[in-house]
């Protein structure tokens, strides 16, 4: 998660604002994770504005160690650490159904490394599935700029394969076979709900 | 939100652990907000363990200004500020449906001050309702230790009444009339899903 933060640089809300408003391309921080995150934030912002869905990225969990309360000014966190999230990054509601997903990128051309996921995230996805929530992952191959939606139940199989001594990654062709390409548009940028409508039509 | 944090004191995870595991009563920080939050965290923890629902409290959004990366050790957040959340605190999935709520406490005996909510939280609840999500607030009257579930559509009416120059609070009797008492138990502590089953049975 720390990759999502400026490396000791000043945080610049104005840039974020520009990106959020969609008046310009999202700022590139030379950080692939931020790029997909920015695109998804714009997508979710658009879904929200047109009343299509209410899906937000969860704030990164922080373990706060020390907070100062300067007189007559805002509380300042002086020491804190990034905590490993116990859930996925994105969730919300679409047509009454619960939507829950994680978004990851890879520079690889032919496979996606499973080490991108944590055991507890997989556990969370399983719990969501058990509650009949709609759970999936969005995977971007940055080199070819292809984005796929892979339903969690397939991710679970590849995760099990790894746990049983099999390959530590998902072949791109496996993602193509069991998942679906998400169309990249100007707006919404990553129209993943269009794919949700197709893959989960029985849910609605 | 800053009330939810130790006032410059060292953060003590071990206490939280004890409370989370439910091996003891949640630690009282002399902070009523924490009390309801702890009880709800225990409740959600229990729901999760028995496979009844997957509902989590969202992390508090933090605006990070400066992060240090000491060699060979974890990134340290050196300057950060609490941001006002743009959504409610709790969300998740129950029987496939999206659940979204905010939890508030008051020392008052006869009314609940609407200033406890922010305009953008109300907006979020309206958006959730429009997506057919299940949206409500949990209100605890700490003095009498009574807890109520009030569906958002009623909160909206009281909010509008205030915007139109009416009273700035909800009478307790109004909460009793339009909401429902949540039974306080040993486990789960605040069994709000039992009330959801009754008030939202048409959703399932």
Residue B18: its pLDDT value, please? 38
- The strand ranges marked E within A29-151 are 54-57, 62-68, 76-82, 90-94, 97-106, 111-113, 134-141, 146-151
B89 belongs to an annotated ligand binding site: yes
Residue B4: its pLDDT value, please? 42
Q: Which two tokens stand for residue A182?
A: 């998400």
Dump pLDDT digits (tens) for A155-169: 999 999 999 999 999
Contacts of A109 (CB under 8 A, 6+ apart): A141, A143, A144, A172
Question: How far is the C-alpha of A200 from the C-alpha of A128, rounded, in Å?
Answer: 15
B59, A63: Cβ pair inside 8 Å? Answer: no
Q: Are strands B54-57 and A134-141 parallel, antiparallel or unpaired?
A: unpaired
B80, A75: Cβ pair inside 8 Å? Answer: no
Q: What is the mean pLDDT of residues A162-182?
A: 97
| Segments in B57-131 forming alpha helices (H) | 119-130
ipTM above 0.85 for this complex: no
Closest-CA distance of chain B to residue A134, Å:
8
| pLDDT at residue A202 tops 70 | yes
B97, A98: Cβ pair inside 8 Å? Answer: yes
Secondary-structure breakdown of chain B: helix, strand, coil percentages, each rounded to the nearest 5: 35, 30, 35
Residue B104 lies in a domain: yes
Domain with B159, as residue range(s), is 33-60+85-203
A157-166 long-range contacts (CB < 8 A, ≥24 apart) are A158/A114, A159/A114, A159/A117, A159/A122, A162/A114
Question: How far is the C-alpha of B53 from the C-alpha of B56, rounded, in Å?
Answer: 10
Residue B21 lies in a domain: no
Contacts of B126 (CB under 8 A, 6+ apart): B152, B156
Of B70, B167, B59, which Cα lies nearest the Cα of B115? Answer: B167
Q: What is the CA radius of gyration of chain B?
A: 18
CA dihedral A137, A141, A142, A145 (to 10 degrees): -100
Helix, strand, or coil (residue B204): coil
Range in A12-16, A54-58, A170-174, B192-196 with the lowest mean pLDDT: A12-16
Residue A18 lies in a domain: no
Decide: B146 and B140 in contact? Cβ < 8 Å.
Answer: yes
Residue B35: its pLDDT value, please? 84
Question: How far is the C-alpha of A136 from the C-alpha of A125, rounded, in Å?
Answer: 8
Question: How far is the C-alpha of A194 from the C-alpha of A5, rounded, in Å?
Answer: 30
For CA atoms A42, B132, B55, B96, give the dihedral sign: negative
Sequential pLDDT tens for chain B (204 residues): 344 444 444 444 444 443 444 444 444 433 344 589 999 999 999 999 999 999 999 999 999 999 999 988 889 999 999 998 889 999 999 999 999 999 999 999 999 999 999 999 999 999 999 999 999 999 999 999 999 999 999 999 999 999 999 999 999 999 999 999 999 998 999 999 999 999 999 999
Residue A72: its pLDDT value, please? 84
Residue A13 lies in a domain: no
Residue A85: pLDDT band with limits 50, 70, 90: confident
Q: Which residue has the higher pLDDT, A1 or A161?
A: A161
Mean pLDDT, rounded, of chain A: 87
C-alpha of B115 from chain center: 15
Residue A35: its pLDDT value, please? 84
Helix, strand, or coil (residue B42): helix
A89 belongs to an annotated ligand binding site: yes
Question: How far is the C-alpha of A162 from the C-alpha of B121, rounded, in Å?
Answer: 42
Q: How far is CA A98 from CA A13, A18, A39, in A?
A: 30, 29, 21
> What's A95's domain CATH number?
3.40.1350.10
Q: What is the mean pLDDT of residues A12-31?
A: 42
H-helix or E-strand containing A20? helix A13-21
B187 belongs to an annotated ligand binding site: no
Residue B10 lies in a domain: no
- Locate the chain A residue with the closest alpha carbon to B75: A81
pTM: 0.82
Residue A33: its pLDDT value, please? 42
Phi–psi pair at A48, nearest 5 degrees: -65, -45
A76, B81: Cβ pair inside 8 Å? Answer: yes
Dump pLDDT digits (tens) for A29-82: 333 445 899 999 999 999 999 999 999 999 999 999 999 999 888 899 999 999
| pLDDT at residue A18 tops 60 | no
A8, B132: Cβ pair inside 8 Å? Answer: no
What share of chain B in percent tops pLDDT 90? 77
Query: Which residue in B59, B133, B203 is closest to A59 by CB distance?
Result: B59
Tally of domains in chain A: 1
Residue A21: its pLDDT value, please? 42
Question: How far is the C-alpha of B53 from the C-alpha of B45, rounded, in Å?
Answer: 9
- Locate the chain A residue with the closest alpha carbon to B63: A11
Q: Could you give the count of Cα atoms lying within 13 Å of B71 in the half-sphere of its Cβ?
A: 0
């Amino acid at each position: 998660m720390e990759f999502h933060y400026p490396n000791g640089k000043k945080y610049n809300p104005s840039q974020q604002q520009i990106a959020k408003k969609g008046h310009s391309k999202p700022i590139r921080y030379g950080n692939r994770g931020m790029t997909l995150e920015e695109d998804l934030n714009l997508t979710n912002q658009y879904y929200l504005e047109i009343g299509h869905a209410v899906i937000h990225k969860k704030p990164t969990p922080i373990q706060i160690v020390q907070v100062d309360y300067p007189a007559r000014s805002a509380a300042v966190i002086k020491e804190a650490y990034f905590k490993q999230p116990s859930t996925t990054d994105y969730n919300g509601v679409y047509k009454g159904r619960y939507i829950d997903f994680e978004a990851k990128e890879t520079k690889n051309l032919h496979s996606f490394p499973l080490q991108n996921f944590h055991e507890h995230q997989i556990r969370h996805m399983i719990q969501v599935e058990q509650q009949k929530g709609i759970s999936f992952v969005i995977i971007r191959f940055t080199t070819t700029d292809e984005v796929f939606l892979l339903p969690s139940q397939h991710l679970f199989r590849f995760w099990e394969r790894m746990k049983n001594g099999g390959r530590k990654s998902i072949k791109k062709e496996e993602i193509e076979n069991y998942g679906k390409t998400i169309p990249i548009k100007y707006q919404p940028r990553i129209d993943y709900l269009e794919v949700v409508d197709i893959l989960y039509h029985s849910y609605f």
